[in-house]
Amino acid sequence: MDSRLREAAQNGDVNHLQSLIKEVPFLLRAVSLEVIKGRKHVMRELLVSSPDSAEEVTARGETCLHLAVKNHQFEAFKLLLENLKEFNKYDLLNKKDIQGNVVLHLAVSTKQYEVVDLLLNAILFLMAQLRASGAVSVENMQSFQQEALPQSWVVSVQDPSNEHSSREQRSERPRSRSKKLQDFFKYHKTKDCPGKVRDTLLVMAILIATATYQTVLSPPGGVWQDTFRPDENNNTSSDGKMSLRRIAGQSVMGTNNPISYGLFLVFNSIGFFVSLYMINFLTIGFPLQLELQVSLAALTITYDTVISAITPNRGISLFFFNLFHSLSSTVALHYNVVEKLLQET
């Protein structure tokens, strides 16, 4: 930087600075210097003459915003933030230094709560503008919040008195390894992105539907490979024991232990139909809804047909067929009601 410009900036001589600005084409480093010293009047002249100077970064990747926070220059920070709003340069708020810190991270770590308040208001204002213009979805905005402000810092900013409780927690007995793992992996409402949570739930529902459907196709004990109808002359097996009537393709478990088989069908079917309901619910608003509903309905009918075919007792088979038909109808009705309520809101 020109030595005359540096001297004028350091002395705070605005008149001399204005005359030199016309001669000196580069002002970027001067803004950084004035931010560190907190001279608002000089900064204002430099920013008016060269708005792009606020975008300059140091060798450590620090923007002027980083420098203002690091040097506790609150008034300088306010001026820089006003400049960002005026020229719509909000992307600077998400720039990181070489240590990976955005300016909000620095403000929280140094407990500059006035700066944090300004930043949060600026971020909320930006997200409201983007949301109103349709340029970004709610999920993307929440993802941005998640990256900009970790959950552990949200607590400390929103509740400064939390320091007392945290000291008490530290004085308590250290948590067990299992408790630490549980706290690490558990769901955090304000931290985890709804889109990722939905995707996870959808994958789980699909896996449950696949497992329960496959279990009906291959029931415990398998199916009979031959047909045997005992009569007065042929009602014992080769080992002399009484043989039960069986038909090829029907469940071995259903023939030998009908009570256990009935319980198996009940609980397996609960898992199957609830997983289908979850798939329906989590895909509300997705394209190709008609095709999805047709495929799920076909899957349900196939499930009922398989149960009717492999269940040895006709009475039990008819009972479960009617039960599952009623259950699937109830799930479909509940889904339609929920979908209408969501559309109204």
pLDDT at 342 over 80: no
In a domain, 188, yes or no: no
Of 158, 183, 202, the one marking the end of a domain is 158
Of 134, 158, 182, the one marking the end of a domain is 158
Q: Are residues 118 and 229 in the same domain?
A: no
Enter the pTM of the model. Answer: 0.47
Q: Are residues 65 and 123 in the same domain?
A: yes
Q: Which domain holds residue 244?
A: 194-344
- Which residue, 190, 328, 313, 203, is CA-closest to 251? 313
CA 243, chain centre distance (Å): 57
- Which residue, 11, 82, 91, is CA-closest to 44? 82
pLDDT at 51 over 70: no
Q: What is the mean pLDDT of residues 74-83?
A: 81
In a domain, 189, yes or no: no
| Number of CB atoms found within 10 A of residue 4's CB | 14
93-111 pLDDT tens trace: 778 888 888 888 888 888 8
167-189 pLDDT tens trace: 444 444 556 666 766 666 666 66
Instruction: Please give the pLDDT value at position 206.
Output: 93
The residue with greater pLDDT, 238 or 327, is 327
pLDDT at 343 over 70: no
Q: Are residues 215 and 150 in the same domain?
A: no
pLDDT at 160 over 60: no
Q: Are residues 22 and 67 in the same domain?
A: yes
CATH number of the domain at 115, please: 1.25.40.20
Helices H, strands E: what count in the chain?
17, 0
Q: Are residues 144 and 230 in the same domain?
A: no
Q: What is the mean pLDDT of residues 30-46?
A: 60
Q: Are residues 207 and 145 in the same domain?
A: no
In a domain, 11, yes or no: yes
pLDDT at 145 over 90: no
In a domain, 302, yes or no: yes
In a domain, 181, yes or no: no
In a domain, 316, yes or no: yes
Can you tell me the distance from the alpha carbon of 109 to that of 43, in angstroms, rounded to the nearest whole number?
26
Instruction: Please give the pLDDT value at position 190.
Output: 59
Instruction: Please give the pLDDT value at position 170.
Output: 47
Instruction: Please give the pLDDT value at position 124.
Output: 75
Of 139, 158, 177, the one marking the end of a domain is 158
Query: What percentage of residues in the chain have a pLDDT greater than 70?
Result: 55
Q: Are residues 39 and 149 in the same domain?
A: yes
The residue with greater pLDDT, 97 or 139, is 97
Q: What is the mean pLDDT of residues 137-155?
A: 49
Number of domains in the chain: 2
Can you tell me the distance from the alpha carbon of 156 to that of 109, in angstroms, rounded to the nearest whole number?
10
Instruction: Please give the pLDDT value at position 76.
Output: 80
Q: What is the mean pLDDT of residues 273-298?
A: 86
Q: How confident is the model at residue 247 (pLDDT cuts 50, 70, 90)?
A: confident
